[in-house]
Structure 1
Amino acid sequence: MSRKNVRRLVLVLALLFLVVVFVYSGVRMAENMNKLQETPPIQEPQRPTVNVVEVTPGTYRAKVEGVGSAEALFELDLNSRINGQVISVSDSFNSGRLVVQGEVLATLEDSQWQAELASAREAQAEALVSYLEEEQEAQQAEQEWSSSGISGSPLSTLALREPQLAAAQAALDSSRQAVAEAEKNLASTQIKAPFDAIVIGRSISPGSYAQAGNEIGQLLSADRVEVVIPLSASDWSVLPDEDELVSGRLSVELTQIETGEQWIGSVIRTEKNLNSDTRQRALVVAVDEPLVQEPNLYPGTFLKAQIPGRSVANLWKLPASALSQREEILTVSEEGLLTAHPANIIFSDQQHLYVQRPEGYDQATVVIQPLSSYSEGMAVTPQSELSDD
């Protein structure tokens, strides 16, 4: 074959190849266009599965929770009522020690007060002599007036020595008061505990000088602690009336928040004013003989109180997890649609919410773990769990 014919053959083959490529590309483009013009099938949106519980209204006894700290009934900065040098201090007068009412905590040097008492008694004796003498003279003056035969009363009471006798009586009374004051001062050289107490601190030592009115120590009463528990208006609404609260028949469970140790107290009074900052009113719970309790209940202990309330009807008892981030309760309709309700929580405990059932609802299916993405009208697939009643 000549070179010219070979060229022609190559040219023909190249043209055929181009034609085949063009035709193939056109067919593929047409197929792609047809696919693009096809309408995709409508897919049903997927419904999320939600955990639910079936609830019905019931009657439950409220339990109101609050927090407060145990405080001693009395807190005293102990002072000396007289001046004097400290000559001895009791071993019991140290921080952390228990002292009983009347126990001597410290003794002051008393020579000054012994002398004062002796002087006051001497003055009293002199005043008594003066009074007795004046009384005798008054009796004699009255006898002389009666025997004088003069009718009527003297022009002046001085004649019968009535003012002189009154002055002598006043001086005697004053001397007696001076003796009583001197005896009290002498007794004050022994500084005693005014009540059963815990010693918090001591500011004197043997050889130091106590000034009248200056602090010598700090005491906390040991016979009772009180726990002041602020409560909101909604808490008060589910508590019994005041007569029942302070009757002594209600036991209040007190739990130390850090350790879980527990004590039983009783309501002794309710405050009659609202706190200006929190707008709450307080309930006061007392525990007697706190340091005889097992375990000991120390002043300053931070406590959680559980106070029994009254029975409330038409409540749903729900797991605490049923409350959404929007403070709502979500129910599921028969069609699987969500409905949101404001959570009207009447009371609660660590595990449960007790909510007023929404108007028009009796039995309901409630979502127990609502997510923030759940919304009103959303279609869901409920997955039932056992009722939490």
Structure 2
Amino acid sequence: MPSRLSYRSPVSVHRQAGRSHWGTLAALLAIALGLSIGYWLLSQPPRVERRAAPPSPAPRVEVVRPDTGAVAPVIQGYGRVVAARQTDVAARVGGRLMTFSEIAEPGRVVEDDAALATLDASDYRLAVRSAEAALAQAEAELAVERGEQIRARSDYESFGRQLSAERRALVLREPQLKSAQAAVTSAEVALETAQLDLARTEIKAPYRAMIQERLVGPGSEISANTAVLSLVDVGHFWIRVSLPSEELTWLNTGEGSTPGASVRLTSRGWPAGVYREGRVFSVLPDLEESGLLAQVLVRVDDPLALENDAPALRLGDLVNATFEATPRDGLIALPTLALRDGNRVWVASEDDQLQIRKVNVVYRGEERVLLDADDSALNADQRVIVSNLGQAREGMALRIAGDTQDSDAIAADTREPRQGAASDDTAPRAEEASS
């Protein structure tokens, strides 16, 4: 049986080749179209609605009013408390130190002429007795000599002859009488010396003072002029304050017994608001070695607060002294923070704009500056800025602290960022939803 062979006509083969060609072309076109769309999507950024930035608010500043008229600077300095009178009490005679009195303890206050310590007085009592005996012997010899003189005068008058003055003095025993009188005087001086030495065996306070230290102990053998106790006068202390020399022109330093300017003293160790009062006493002639500053002595009475409830001043304390300066007319006082670039100040105008004024500085302190009212373009009605500004320029708008309009502007500035932030968050979300 003859095999059956498949037969395809030339027309069918041509049709099949045509279909394959068009399918490949369609696939390439689809890929190209997809790549084009993807590139377009990647090259286009998301569209977000942009809003113009709100105008930046004017800076908020604090202002003060100038102080005019008779004004004075605030003069301050630090000083060290020193003793006005400090004494090492010494024995005037030698001997064994027997006892100290009960009040002769460190930190105790003793009154003037109070007994502090006692030396062994046995030898000095014997010396007094010996001096008394010598005086009695001299007085007796003087009495005998006076009797001899009476007898010699009687013999001379009975002789009946006139002698020269020199021979008559010898006959009347006048030299012997003077010698006996001199012996009595010498014996009296020796007795007074012995009694004085006996009294000096008791050591007494030279003035009202506080005992600082015992320098020797009971039972010690001491000689004359050996220091026994250290005392400090409690009547008043000095405060040695260092100040620049140019500040002395503002102070009343006093003359003679007239006290100078008042001084307020404070210490870091005292409670807040507690202070002591003092007075400027004098200005020392020498300058401080380290800083070449003038040294002012301030007197403080009753420094240990023995008669009042004020805090006590201790020797060696470091205190802050604020001096009462003498006011002067024709000046303007401002806080030191208000001074810019050495000789300029910032002023807020009536329409709250910045103005820069040049001033003439008379005194510059840590807390206060004084300006010459005639040479400075300021008056008591102007508002001087004490706040710092990053970029200060003439005519820039300001907001004055404490002003009602300023409070409203602050509230508006507080609300605006929250509204803007909400709209910015909403716009991207809407864009994402649309895409």
Same fold, TM-score > 0.5, yes or no? yes
Partner secondary structure for residue 287 of structure 2: coil
Question: Does 1:235 pair with 2:281?
Answer: no
Cα deviation, residue 113, structure 1: 0.8
Structure 1 runs of 4+ with >6 Å offset: 1-15, 44-47
Question: Does 1:319 pair with 2:331?
Answer: no
Aligned to 2:135: 124
Sort the Cα spacing of 1:242 and 1:208 in 2 relative to 1 into closer, same or farther, 3 A: closer
8 Å contact kept, 1:57–1:362: no
* Higher RCO (CA < 8 A, seq sep 6+): 1
Of 81, 86, 106 in structure 1, the residue corresponding to residue 92 of structure 2 is 81
Cα deviation, residue 11, structure 1: 8.9
Of 212, 218, 232 in structure 2, the residue corresponding to residue 220 of structure 1 is 232
Sort the Cα spacing of 1:157 and 1:48 in 2 relative to 1 into closer, same or farther, 3 A: farther
Q: Which has the higher strand share?
A: 1
Sort the Cα spacing of 1:340 and 1:9 in 2 relative to 1 into closer, same or farther, 3 A: farther
Name structure 1 gaps, 5 residues minimum. 26-43
Amino acid at match of 2:229: G
Sort the Cα spacing of 1:135 and 1:266 in 2 relative to 1 into closer, same or farther, 3 A: farther
Aligned to 1:31: none
Partner secondary structure for residue 133 of structure 2: helix
Sort the Cα spacing of 1:215 and 1:353 in 2 relative to 1 into closer, same or farther, 3 A: same
Sort the Cα spacing of 1:362 and 1:73 in 2 relative to 1 into closer, same or farther, 3 A: same
Partner secondary structure for residue 234 of structure 1: helix
Tell me, in whole angstroms, the C-alpha distance in 2 between the residues paired with 1:159 and 1:111: 47
Tell me, in whole angstroms, the C-alpha distance in 1 between the residues paired with 2:176 and 2:237: 58
Amino acid at match of 2:287: N
Cα deviation, residue 111, structure 1: 0.8
Give percent identity, aligned residues only.
22
8 Å contact kept, 1:49–1:380: no
Map Cα deviations across residues 5-51 of structure 1 (whole Å, 9 max, x no partner).
97899799989x99xx99xx9xxxxxxxxxxxxxxxxxx99975543
Question: Does 1:305 pair with 2:316?
Answer: no
Of 294, 299, 311 in structure 2, the residue corresponding to residue 285 of structure 1 is 299
Cα deviation, residue 108, structure 1: 1.7
Task: Output the TM-score relative to the length of structure 2.
Answer: 0.66
Amino acid at match of 1:263: R
Higher radius of gyration, 1 or 2: 2
Cα deviation, residue 299, structure 1: 3.4
Of 368, 371, 374 in structure 1, the residue corresponding to residue 386 of structure 2 is 368
Aligned to 2:161: 148
Task: Output the TM-score relative to the length of structure 1.
Answer: 0.73
Cα deviation, residue 143, structure 1: 7.8
Aligned to 1:33: none
Tell me, in whole angstroms, the C-alpha distance in 1 between the residues paired with 2:190 and 2:17: 157
Aligned to 2:78: 67
Stretch deviating more after TM superposition (337-346 or 190-199): 337-346
Name structure 2 gaps, 5 residues minimum. 1-14, 40-54, 404-435
Amino acid at match of 2:312: L
Aligned to 2:216: 204
Aligned to 1:273: 285
Amino acid at match of 2:97: V
Map Cα deviations across residues 320-345 of structure 1 (whole Å, 9 max, x no partner).
53356x65653247673545657543
Amino acid at match of 1:172: V
Map Cα deviations across residues 285-318 of structure 1 (whole Å, 9 max, x no partner).
2314731121352432443333333222233332
Tell me, in whole angstroms, the C-alpha distance in 1 between the residues paired with 2:128 and 2:391: 88
Sort the Cα spacing of 1:3 and 1:136 in 2 relative to 1 into closer, same or farther, 3 A: farther
Amino acid at match of 2:118: T
Cα deviation, residue 193, structure 1: 1.7
Stretch deviating more after TM superposition (257-266 or 337-346): 337-346
